[in-house]
Structure 1
Amino acid sequence: MTYNIHHANPPSKEETGEIDLDAIVHVIRKENPDLVALQEVDVNTKRSGKGNQAEIIAGKLGMKAFFGRAIDHQGGFYGVAILSRYPLLETSVTPLPEDAAPASEDRVLATAKVKLPGGMVIRFGSTHLDVDSPENREQQVKAINAIAAKENMPFIVAGDFNAVPESSAVRELDKRFTRTCVSDCAPTIPVDKPDRAIDFIAYSKEAPFKVVSQKVIPERYASDHLPVVATLRY
């Protein structure tokens, strides 16, 4: 699963700033994924309160969590995260480039090594690309592709790419990865009347995966994005 959780602030509660972590937990629990890439996650911020949102969500689900800080925000941190049913090993956070628009919000790729049932070991990553600059997004994907090119194990990357399938950034992604949705991707944003797909799950072309299913979950309360769920067989 990949899910931009909007720091657990439901769009209908944006003016009041209400935080509803249980709504996010409910969405994830219903789909019962093994691995989750989260974006827009708060840790100890003024708007969301004390606590690591990724760890709180993981605790309620019986999962492991790893948070990747992108920026300092309101006295705490803001970034992406990985949730997993299996132990997370060799975790890392890699800053992504933003040469085209250096004033843009910093972006990162968080990754972890995961040993799956049956013994396969994979790299799983969560990312959230630049929202404003197409050139930054393309450069950020090139950086992710360069990391994937050096990886000797199957690599799954998922997240909010802030780019539609026809964009230069997603075309760049497709050079190194296979998206679980290749054509006619169901829209993931805006949540009230979705009209474009910008959230994707993809795996390295060398990985021995086959897509069993791919779907966008029509859950319109918990966040301003719809979550994406894919089942891969190996």
Structure 2
Amino acid sequence: MRLATWNILHGRTPADSSVDPVRFARAIEALDADVLALQEVDRGQPRSGMLDLTEIAADAVGGAVSRFVPAIIGDPARAWRPATENDLDATRDGYGIALISRYPVLRWHVLRLASSERFRAPVRLPETRDVLWVRDEPRAVVAATIRTPLGVWTIACTHLTFLQGVNTRQLRRTARWLRQLPGPRVLMGDLNMPAGMARRASEARSLSRGATFPQSRPMVQIDHVLTADPLPLSRQVRVPRPELSDHMPVVVEFQQG
């Protein structure tokens, strides 16, 4: 059984703002993941051609079941509002995370994480030279209780804030929430913190190691696969550098039998 997590930069590369659905599907297919966690996912955003990236990824995995959870609704670079449970089926202006499974999902779970209300940062827009004050985005966690070949597991995906201290609190909240769900449990995603900090805050062990960001010359690991439960033996699978994103994917494979 193979698990993978990847921050996809809404399907593009830092040097190329266009989103090619064929290139994106090819990159997802190459991971060959049975359960796939994605971060920075667009649904119905103009910058990614109004594509539903979760649907494309699910088709590339092989007609898998999926759940997209928007963290915000609107333009991530300009005006947006926090997403709510009423936005789970929104087909436009969504930006968030997704979880995709080849195996039957028994139940979906969603947790919403508050942003830092104090954070503001000025960003000058190149086309107008106007200054935009960027806010910290709210975050979300999506988990699925899945019937896998190794039994019933709960596997979660998240993308935490880059604000140090705030992301630690978000991870502790996520870990407490996850412990209430059926085990064994695995948390995957872009946690925006190094491995040691992630292990301490989650009180879990890491199933992966190695720098994941930036993809062009990885220097730090901020993308993780964590668990606090006994699991079968696993190994990390090294994959070729993808054609898109500024993060490397993380892939972990579990032995069966």
The alignment's TM-score, normalised by the length of structure 2, stands at 0.79
| Match runs of 1:1-234 below 5 Å | 1-13=4-16, 17-62=17-62, 63-74=64-75, 76-98=93-115, 101=118, 103-117=135-149, 120-131=151-162, 133-167=163-197, 169-173=198-202, 175=203, 177-181=204-208, 185-203=209-227, 205-211=228-234, 213-233=235-255
CA RMSD of aligned residues (A): 2.0
- In 1, distance between residues paired with 2:93 and 2:220? 31
Residues 35-85 of structure 1, C-alpha deviations (whole Å, 9 max, x = no match): 100000001011112232101221233122210111112351100001111
- Per-residue CA deviation, residues 118-160 of structure 1 (Å, 9 max, x unaligned), is 5x111111100001x1111111111111112222321111000
- The DSSP-based 3-state class of the residue aligned with 1:109 is strand
CA contact (8 A) 2:74 2:94 kept: yes
Would the aligned equivalents of 1:69 and 1:79 in 2 still touch at CA under 8 Å? Answer: yes
Runs of 5+ unmatched residues, structure 2: 76-91, 120-134
The Cα offsets for residues 159-208 of structure 1, whole Å up to 9 and x where unpaired, read as 001111233x44212x1x22102xxx2111111111111101112x2333
The answer (yes or no) to whether the contact 2:27–2:242 under 8 Å persists in 1 is no
Shift of 1:115: 0.5
> 3-state SS of the aligned residue for 1:138?
helix
CA distance in 2 between counterparts of 1:214 and 1:180 reads 7
- 1:225 and 1:21 map into 2 onto residues whose CA distance is 18
Q: Read off the aligned partner of 2:59 and give its amino acid letter.
A: G
Provide the rounded CA distance (Å) in 1 between the counterparts of 2:118 and 2:252: 33
Q: Would the aligned equivalents of 2:140 and 2:159 in 1 still touch at CA under 8 Å?
A: yes
Cα distance between partner residues in 2 of 1:98 and 1:139: 11
Number of aligned positions between the proteins: 221
Distance 1:109 1:89, change over 3 A: same
Percent of pairs with identical residues: 28
Q: Secondary structure at the match of 1:81?
A: strand
Q: Which consecutive unaligned segments of at least 5 residues does structure 1 have? A: none
Deviation of 1:230 after TM superposition, in Å, equals 0.4
Q: Retained in 1: the 8 A contact 2:236–2:251?
A: yes
Q: Secondary structure at the match of 1:67?
A: strand
